[in-house]
Chain A
């Protein structure tokens, strides 16, 4: 994201003009824009005009409109952001108060005006405009009969393909069926690979699976690359890494990212930090359960006692339509920071964020044990 203009007072009103550059930026914009904000962008609208003759004529007009946001919609597959709201700009074609939906597109600047730029919003802004290299990583998570292809960006993980085939058990003479089924399965995975993996974007490709499926697939891949002369694969052999996963399901992505050799590759990225923070939480939970807690009620209970050392929270809690609710979480984050704790805001688009979201979206590591937590119902 490029910051074009910034005119704001922290914890006060202001306007920021931004230009999204890559897919991740849509996600940041989605997190940044709340209901009640004003967004200005160029857009196209179909306008009906009445001719002098009485007939009607529809025309597409390019306009610059500012709307007061009522709803924001993010499409993770297409990476498109739509903002619905009431028009605020005076012009010939759209009346004030008329509804319009803006579509934020890459490389088209837009301006956000907020009444209050709270710390979270500023954080997101800062992060979004941080030009440090993004860790674009592609992971193929497999198990016999199931493969999923993920692209892991700075703050989002997108599932690009899912291949599922039934592979028979070996069964006497039907053993050939097993081999052909497996080959067919690999062929499908290879097709998905060719379609979705662009080595100019991704740093490396990780093939992860339990057992030997990964090795089998790699062998198949190289063999096929030779046979069909797939230059992209032959040239980038060194960028294909194997890793162990405990299953082929999406939640095992966490294990893959945790493994040391992958961790090295993505060391400084947000994804890596999140993985580590969540791992710490689970370690604490298994070693000293009274020093870890999750769920809004428990976390707030711990916070009242100033016990929170590290707060883990997903970004979708801030996306809450209820302003008061958002304020509550913002205050929680700020006060944890004030009392010397650290806060990790997880992207709910990553595997680890997704997991945290399922653990109610909020969790904390505590400075000192709070055995009372056990008596509090979830």
Chain B
């Protein structure tokens, strides 16, 4: 019996417009509908029709368990039926419980121990630890957990015979068994841990609540890929998770200074270095740049006083290992910003509060001529990177005397624009601060002028309040190469970048695209510290062995050897044209950016114009595309790049088109016309 109570999350099953999830459609069902789409897609392709109902069902249904007596669909956390007070079925059958709890690792481990017959002796330490980890990334890791739900459920059959050990609950069973026992899946899907274990461990139910958000399962969407045990997120030391934080904004708004100051305050810059920077900056007569110089290390950047390429730095907040991507703000370096900051999970948009500077950031450098400043351009870009959480740091408040009026003015002006970019108001936080005077950075402000009207979060708290996006480790490894570092002395070559999906560990074999070269991972480094395993979302340097270093180029992709990504030089895109003066024509030449790769490209065909609201084609083969229109186009590149349909891999499916120094369109890959 279905529940009559509506769930908080809306489900949009007819959702076929991936693009919209970037522009406009920011409901909570973002992930779910996306997954539903992906499944549709995959199923159409090669899998048996039997899977369809299952995938659909799990995609749609919140996790509930149906009462064996009255068949009412109870909430997962409820142990007895709401209607007839019958105990949950899984409670009775000890076998199933081990698997039913698979939707959370912590619970699973607990439960499997319970099965072994020592529920009371469960060490408290384990419970505590699990609780922390569940807390810190409960929400973020849902897709993986979702995947586990279905898969572990499939093992339900075997349970009576085998006492499951924790390891075997992992995604080890072929998906096929699931389809043959469709009914049972739903049953065990909805089951929850036994009363015994949840009583002895009150934390369990809470963890489950965190873990089992009603959602779809996206396991095995990538051709029967089975992640190994070591890929899971349950390692003890991993209390803090990585957050890739891009710092963007108009030129001279103080991005580097802000990042430098943060690093300094959090003790990531040694006194000696800081002193050196200060001294050198003073010598050059640029005293105010001393913090920025922590980020801008090249002579050229220091000389000119602007950032030119994306700088990477690390600090730890209370909740995260934060990877700071300090982007250049200058108009000419937007390509660098794109290739360096696409990996961002969240962003800080730095705005200069000074009179005139904020306006320049909005409307371009030259007063009087309508243009797009980098505040706007960057905001649009980070949105199209897939970032939906933004902290707006209104910097240089000291220069305007911490005036509330100015802050409100900026907030109003920029807020309207951010909304039009598709940022939800709830995921944008506003922090007035001053990097130079150290106001409101890691501690609440002290200046009376500011505290008189602002009592909100300081920047560091705002960073901590960010949510990690979902990490997809259940899929094969994909790591776009952002940067290549060669150590001459050691003859080593390292690829830096963020793992988009999957995981990698020392000794793994990987394949490098383009070139199809097999390499072995010699070691993995994060912030100069060696680590054994890197998982989706981690920003690491992977040192490779057995590879021709010249084949390793930024823009390449490191993949799982059995699942190399495709290359294509002709792509079909769904694009949204930004504010451009010159319309886009057939034959328009653009610079094409996708993950860290760029290429010259031209539009070969404008297939159809799309309606902004519905995403339906309104007109085929239009003459040209004007600002704010969205359309399906075909582009041909002057060289093949690694790409993947957005529905299959988001990171490899986001594209940015630029022409004459402006970003003219952003979009997603809908089809590879000539996959290689």
A378 touching B606, Cβ below 8 Å: yes
Residues of A within 8 A of B336 (CB): 144
Choose one: B333, B585, B591, B622; the contact of A249 (CB below 8 Å): B591
B587 touching A175, Cβ below 8 Å: no
What per-residue 1/0 map shows which CB atoms of A139-167 lie under 8 Å from chain B? 00001100000000000000000000010
Q: Roughly how many angstroms separate A49 CA and B589 CA in the complex, as a whole number?
A: 56
Q: A166-B484, A170-B298 are in contact. Are A378 and B623 (CB under 8 A)?
A: yes
What per-residue 1/0 map shows which CB atoms of A218-257 lie under 8 Å from chain B? 0000000000000000000000000000110111100100
Q: Roughly how many angstroms separate A290 CA and B485 CA in the complex, as a whole number?
A: 52
Residues of B within 8 A of A216 (CB): 300
Which one of B21-29, B309-317, B397-405 contacts A? B309-317
B581 touching A175, Cβ below 8 Å: no
B299 at the interface (CB under 8 A from A): yes
Residues of B within 8 A of A175 (CB): 297-298
Residues of B within 8 A of A377 (CB): 620-621
Q: Roughly how many angstroms separate A378 CA and B587 CA in the complex, as a whole number?
A: 12
Q: A171-B312, A210-B332 are in contact. Are A358 and B587 (CB under 8 A)?
A: yes
B436 at the interface (CB under 8 A from A): no
What per-residue 1/0 map shows which CB atoms of B491-503 lie under 8 Å from chain A? 0000010000000
B272 at the interface (CB under 8 A from A): no
Q: Roughly how many angstroms separate A294 CA and B603 CA in the complex, as a whole number?
A: 14
Instruction: Tell me the B432-453 residues at the A interface (CB within 8 Å).
Output: none
A255 touching B660, Cβ below 8 Å: yes
Choose one: A177, A179, A359; the contact of B585 (CB below 8 Å): A359
Tell me the nearest residue of chain B to A294, going by C-beta.
B585
B126 at the interface (CB under 8 A from A): no
B298 touching A178, Cβ below 8 Å: yes
What per-residue 1/0 map shows which CB atoms of B479-510 lie under 8 Å from chain A? 00011111100000000100000000000000
B340 at the interface (CB under 8 A from A): yes
CB distance from A174 to the nearest CB of B (A): 5
CB distance from A145 to the nearest CB of B (A): 9
A211 touching B485, Cβ below 8 Å: no
Residues of A within 8 A of B587 (CB): 355, 357-360
Task: Give the residue among A171, A251, A285, A373 with the most B Cβ atoms within 10 A.
Answer: A171
A177 touching B298, Cβ below 8 Å: no
A246 touching B330, Cβ below 8 Å: no
A119 at the interface (CB under 8 A from B): no
Residues of B within 8 A of A252 (CB): 660
Tell me the nearest residue of chain A to B496, going by C-beta.
A171
B84 at the interface (CB under 8 A from A): no
Q: A168-B484, A247-B335 are in contact. Are A289 and B583 (CB under 8 A)?
A: yes
B304 at the interface (CB under 8 A from A): yes
Residues of B within 8 A of A358 (CB): 586-589, 602
B661 at the interface (CB under 8 A from A): yes
A128 at the interface (CB under 8 A from B): no
Instruction: Tell me the A287-309 residues at the B interface (CB within 8 Å).
Output: 289, 293-295, 298
What per-residue 1/0 map shows which CB atoms of B326-352 lie under 8 Å from chain A? 000010110110001000000000000
Instruction: Tell me the B588-624 residues at the A interface (CB within 8 Å).
Output: 588-589, 591, 600, 602, 606, 620-624
Task: Give the residue among A170, A212, A374, A378 with the most B Cβ atoms within 10 A.
Answer: A170
Residues of B within 8 A of A210 (CB): 332-333, 335, 661
A195 at the interface (CB under 8 A from B): no
Residues of A within 8 A of B582 (CB): 282, 285-286
B485 touching A177, Cβ below 8 Å: yes
Residues of A within 8 A of B312 (CB): 169, 171-172
Residues of A within 8 A of B333 (CB): 210-211
B553 at the interface (CB under 8 A from A): yes
Q: Roughly how many angstroms separate A68 CA and B162 CA in the complex, as a whole number?
A: 88
Tell me the nearest residue of chain B to A178, going by C-beta.
B298
Choose one: A179, A246, A355, A374; the contact of B623 (CB below 8 Å): A374
CB distance from B660 to the nearest CB of A (A): 5
Q: A212-B300, A374-B623, A378-B622 are in contact. Are A169 and B585 (CB under 8 A)?
A: no
B192 at the interface (CB under 8 A from A): no
B623 touching A211, Cβ below 8 Å: no
A211 touching B297, Cβ below 8 Å: no
Q: Roughly how many angstroms separate A373 CA and B624 CA in the complex, as a whole number?
A: 11
Residues of B within 8 A of A177 (CB): 485-486
Residues of A within 8 A of B299 (CB): 179
CB distance from A368 to the nearest CB of B (A): 17
CB distance from B563 to the nearest CB of A (A): 25
Tell me the nearest residue of chain A to B590, going by C-beta.
A251
Tell me the nearest residue of chain B to A373, going by C-beta.
B623
Q: Roughly how many angstroms separate A326 CA and B525 CA in the complex, as a whole number?
A: 64
List 16 extra interface pairs beyond A210-B661, A285-B582, A289-B624, CB under 8 A: A169-B310, A170-B301, A174-B485, A175-B298, A177-B486, A179-B298, A212-B308, A246-B659, A247-B658, A249-B591, A285-B624, A294-B623, A359-B585, A359-B588, A360-B586, A378-B623
Which residues of B approach A to under 8 Å, CB–CB? 297-301, 304, 308-312, 330, 332-333, 335-336, 340, 482-487, 496, 528, 553-554, 581-583, 585-589, 591, 600, 602, 606, 620-624, 626, 658-661
The 10 A-B residue pairs with the shortest CB-CB distance, nearest first, are A358-B587, A251-B589, A246-B661, A359-B587, A249-B600, A210-B332, A211-B332, A377-B621, A169-B483, A378-B621
